[in-house]
């Protein structure tokens, strides 16, 4: 049973549909944020923009993972990168949810805290400019807020990414890699 799960997870990370599905979900999340900002006029706060930066990095990593899925070392690096990005997303989602619910009191200003040489908010203001202070996120559907959805999906990404990464480290005798 254990070897079957490990084999499945190894096969999953070699499958282009795995990478494409994660890429589509990440692109949808970024597109959804832009829809809420530019169509529904829900302005992003600093934590929202930091989540967008993590998702943008995830999209780049997923493209590289898709291209490198047939190379074990590069695939493992891509899977590890997904795990690390998911950890960042979980942390930012937790802070955003905590600020929204009032169990975290965070300093939420108008600076991303990035170095001056990486002024992405100046280069792509339609995507990365902070427009408001933190406090709430819009409701998506059925009373679920964006912060709640981010928290759940970030944790799911972390569990999936960690499972696939750890399985990729194991070399089972019945797997041809």
Domain boundaries, the chain: 17-169
- pLDDT tens digits, 118-133: 989 889 989 888 888 8
Across 23-27, 107-111, 163-167, least confident range = 107-111
Q: How many CB atoms lie within 10 A of CB 31?
A: 10
**Percent of the chain residues topping a pLDDT of 70:** 95
Say which residue, 160 or 101, is predicted with more confidence. Answer: 160
- Cα 18 to Cα 33: distance, rounded to the nearest angstrom: 23
- pLDDT tens digits, 45-97: 888 999 999 999 999 999 999 999 999 899 999 999 999 999 999 999 999 89
Answer yes or no: is pLDDT of 112 > 60. yes
pTM comes to: 0.87
Answer yes or no: is pLDDT of 149 > 70. yes
pLDDT (0 to 100) of residue 173 = 57
Say which residue, 155 or 102, is predicted with more confidence. Answer: 155
Report whether 147 contacts 137 (CB < 8 A): yes
In CATH terms, the fold of domain 17-169 is Bromodomain-like (1.20.1550)
Answer yes or no: is pLDDT of 174 > 60. no
Say which residue, 2 or 96, is predicted with more confidence. Answer: 96
- What b-and-e string marks burial along 142-165, b requiring 16 or more CB atoms within 10 Å of the CB? eeebbbbbbbebbeebbebbbbbb
Which has the closest alpha carbon to 150: 98, 81, 106? 98
Own/partner long-range contacts of 155-161 (Cβ < 8 Å, ≥24 apart): 155/90, 157/22, 157/82, 157/86, 157/89, 158/83, 158/86, 158/87, 158/89, 158/90, 161/79, 161/82, 161/83, 161/86
């Amino acid at each position: 049973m254990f070897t079957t799960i490990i084999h499945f997870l190894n096969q999953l990370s070699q499958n282009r549909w795995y990478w494409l599905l994660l890429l589509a979900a990440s692109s949808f999340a970024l597109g959804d944020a832009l829809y809420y900002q530019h169509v529904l006029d829900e302005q992003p706060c600093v934590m929202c923009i930091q989540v967008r930066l993590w998702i943008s990095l995830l999209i780049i990593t997923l493209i590289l993972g898709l291209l490198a899925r047939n190379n074990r070392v590069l695939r493992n690096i891509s899977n590890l990168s997904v795990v690390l990005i998911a950890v960042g997303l979980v942390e930012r989602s937790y802070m955003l949810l905590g600020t929204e619910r009032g169990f975290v009191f965070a300093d939420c200003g108008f600076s991303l805290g990035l170095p001056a040489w990486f002024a992405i908010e100046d280069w792509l203001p339609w995507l990365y400019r902070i427009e408001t202070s933190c406090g709430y996120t819009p409701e998506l559907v059925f009373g679920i807020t964006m912060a709640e959805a981010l928290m759940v999906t970030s944790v799911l990404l972390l569990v999936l990414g960690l499972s696939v990464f750890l399985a990729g480290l194991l070399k089972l005798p019945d797997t041809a890699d």
